[in-house]
């Protein structure tokens, strides 16, 4: 079952690459006391994700902050080293926190998994964006077209904030 507006974000641990070392990110802490946009996508270095989705959040960081967003997280079912390298490639700096969900455990807890096994990619997360206010979901958007960012890109989220 997909997470819904009004629900608390599930507890879990994601990973990020800190100063060259793995760092766990407790979701309870990540979402606590602030407004966060968490967007998920099928995979690092994939065409739409690299050319459109992540850049939309990097380019609109200031506009999101002006609307009260304290943090933006990008989650994918990739390992933390891939997410770290992808963040460097995308020049996210401190604008987007690259969050690895290597075993898809958090993705499954959100009910947002996408089975791409037949395409050789295994279980991934679907393309989504969730607005979280102090740990509680205030908006959930899932793309109908997995290759598009009409509902989940930064411009779409800016429209609902």
pLDDT score, position 146: 72
Contacts of 65 (CB under 8 A, 6+ apart): none
Taking the mean position of all CA atoms in its chain, how far away is CA 45?
14
> Is 107 within a domain?
yes
CB 66 within 8 A of CB 48: no
pLDDT score, position 112: 94
**Each residue's pLDDT tens digit, 87-139:** 999 999 999 999 999 999 999 999 998 776 677 666 778 899 999 999 999 99
Of the chain, the percentage scoring pLDDT greater than 90 comes to 78
**Mean predicted confidence (pLDDT) in 64-77:** 97
CB 9 within 8 A of CB 136: yes
In angstroms, rounded to a whole number, what is the distance separating the alpha carbons of residues 141 and 20?
Answer: 33
> Is 3 within a domain?
no
CATH code, 75? 3.40.30.10
The helix (run of H) or strand (run of E) holding residue 26 is: strand 22-26
Positions marked active-site: 49
> Is 4 within a domain?
no
Global pTM value: 0.94
> Is 82 within a domain?
yes
pLDDT score, position 120: 64
> Is 29 within a domain?
no
In angstroms, rounded to a whole number, what is the distance separating the alpha carbons of residues 89 and 155?
Answer: 22
Q: How confident is the model at residue 43 (pLDDT cuts 50, 70, 90)?
A: confident
**Each residue's pLDDT tens digit, 50-62:** 888 999 999 999 9
In angstroms, rounded to a whole number, what is the distance separating the alpha carbons of residues 127 and 39?
Answer: 7
Predicted confidence (pLDDT) at residue 45 exceeds the cutoff of 90: no
Q: Which domain holds residue 41?
A: 35-160
Domain count, the chain: 1
Closest of 101, 33, 39, 106 to residue 70, by C-alpha: 33
> Is 101 within a domain?
yes
């Amino acid at each position: 079952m997909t997470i819904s507006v009004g629900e608390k974000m599930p507890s879990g641990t994601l990973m990020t690459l800190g100063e060259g070392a793995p760092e766990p990110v407790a979701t309870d802490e990540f979402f606590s006391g602030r407004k966060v946009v968490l967007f998920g996508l099928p995979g690092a270095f994939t065409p739409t994700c690299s050319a459109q989705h992540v850049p939309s959040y990097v380019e609109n960081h200031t506009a999101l902050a002006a609307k009260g967003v304290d943090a933006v997280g990008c989650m994918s079912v990739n390992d933390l080293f891939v997410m770290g390298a992808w963040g460097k490639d995308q020049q996210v700096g401190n604008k987007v926190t690259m969050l690895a969900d290597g075993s898809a455990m958090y993705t499954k807890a959100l009910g947002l998994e996408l089975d791409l096994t037949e395409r050789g990619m295994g279980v991934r997360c679907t393309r989504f964006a969730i607005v979280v206010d102090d740990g509680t979901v205030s908006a959930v958007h899932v793309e109908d077209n997995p290759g598009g960012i009409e509902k989940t890109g930064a411009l779409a989220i800016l429209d609902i904030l």
